[in-house]
Amino acid sequence: MISFPNAKINLGLNITEKRPDGYHNIETVLYPMPLCDILEINIALDAQFSFDSSGLIMDCYSADNLCVKAYYLMHQHFEVPPVKMWLHKIIPSGAGLGGGSADAAFTLKMLNKIFNLKLEKTTLIELAANLGMDCPFFIENLPALATSRGDMLTPLEFSLNGHTICIAHPDIHISTAEAYAEIIPYEGQISPATLIAFPASSWKEMLENQFEKTLFATHPRLQSIKKTMYDSGAVYSSLTGSGSAVFGIFNSSPNLLSKFEGMFYWEGKLE
């Protein structure tokens, strides 16, 4: 079986509170993107589990890959037989695009289907929460407001269809620890779910990713990419998540490949 785990972007991101458990409460709108990895899973005829990868180099050992962790989580709970897994990595790691989380969530969904486990979506979401904060989002894979640690999801009736999305990712990896190091949480911010109800042309002045305040200072290249997006006609541009990818929303294709030469660049029209 083959599937195509997709990326996501964050529309606004508020950090509202540091929790007693050391995590942070956030508010952000998650939106799926048609930028995809390729994941293949087949039953292991030799009864030996294996995982192989190609494409972009990943920043972890195979045993730490979220696809592998997702398999062993399912094996632990439902005794699923060994499988052969192959992941072709297209979504860059450490970019805030949720690629690893999508790979894990799609692994759960594929194993559920291959072995006819008949697990409900609620069960898959609970399992996904054990693998990472973004993982539950990719079970439903629909626009949602994410709150608490990012794992509490409220579906949203919202669409960016008709817009072109451009994503640029320089060779910069930002860890979660780095992203949160200088963050000062504060409550009372307007929820991104409220702000996206306004026209996208007004988001520039209202909808912000709080990580930009600190990460742009330490990585000025990211701020430069955002400026290029706006200079090229973006109606809105932002850092996504706590990573180092910057996206722009355009009314038509800007064809920015030459401006972001030497870095990862993706452009697609949402339909």
The SS3 of residue 54 is: strand
Q: Is the pLDDT of residue 174 over 90?
A: no
Q: How far is CA 1 from CA 4, 38, 39, 123, 169, in A?
A: 10, 11, 8, 21, 30
- Over residues 49-63, the pLDDT tens digits come to 999 999 987 765 566
**Average model confidence (pLDDT) for the chain?**
94
Which one is predicted more confidently, 32 or 185?
32
pLDDT in tens, 115-126: 999 999 999 999
Q: Does pLDDT of 66 surpass 70?
A: yes
- Measured CA angle at 59 (ends 53, 62), to 5 deg: 45
What's the pLDDT band for 13 if we cut at 50, 70, 90? very high
Residue 196's pLDDT band (boundaries 50, 70, 90)?
Answer: very high
pLDDT-based confidence at residue 259 (cuts at 50, 70, 90): very high
* Beta-bridge partner residues of 24: 18
C-alpha 145/C-alpha 149 separation (Å) is: 12
Contacts of 184 (CB under 8 A, 6+ apart): none
pLDDT of residue 119: 98
Domain 164-269, second-level architecture:
2-Layer Sandwich (3.30)
Catalytic residue numbers? 8, 134
Of 173 and 153, the one with more pLDDT: 153
Q: How confident is the model at residue 255 (pLDDT cuts 50, 70, 90)?
A: confident
**Under a CB-based contact definition with an 8 Å cutoff, are residues 201 and 235 in contact?**
yes
pLDDT digit string (tens) for 209-225? 999 999 999 999 999 99
pLDDT confidence of residue 122 = 96
Indicate the burial class of 234 (C-beta count within 10 angstroms; 0-12, 13-18, 19 or more). Answer: buried
For 231, the token pair is 């200079």
Residue 2 scores a pLDDT above 90? yes
pLDDT exceeds 70 at position 83:
yes
Over 90: is that where the pLDDT of 185 sits?
no
Task: List Cβ neighbours of 243 (8 Å cut-off, separation of 6 or more).
Answer: 94, 95, 96, 97, 169, 174, 179
pLDDT for residue 60: 55
CATH of region 2-155 = 3.30.230.10
Per-residue pLDDT at 61: 54
Percent of the chain exceeding pLDDT 70 equals 98
Residue 255 phi, psi (nearest 5): 50, 70
Side-by-side strand order, sheet with 144-147: 6-18, 24-36, 144-147, 152-155
Domain boundaries, the chain: 2-155, 164-269
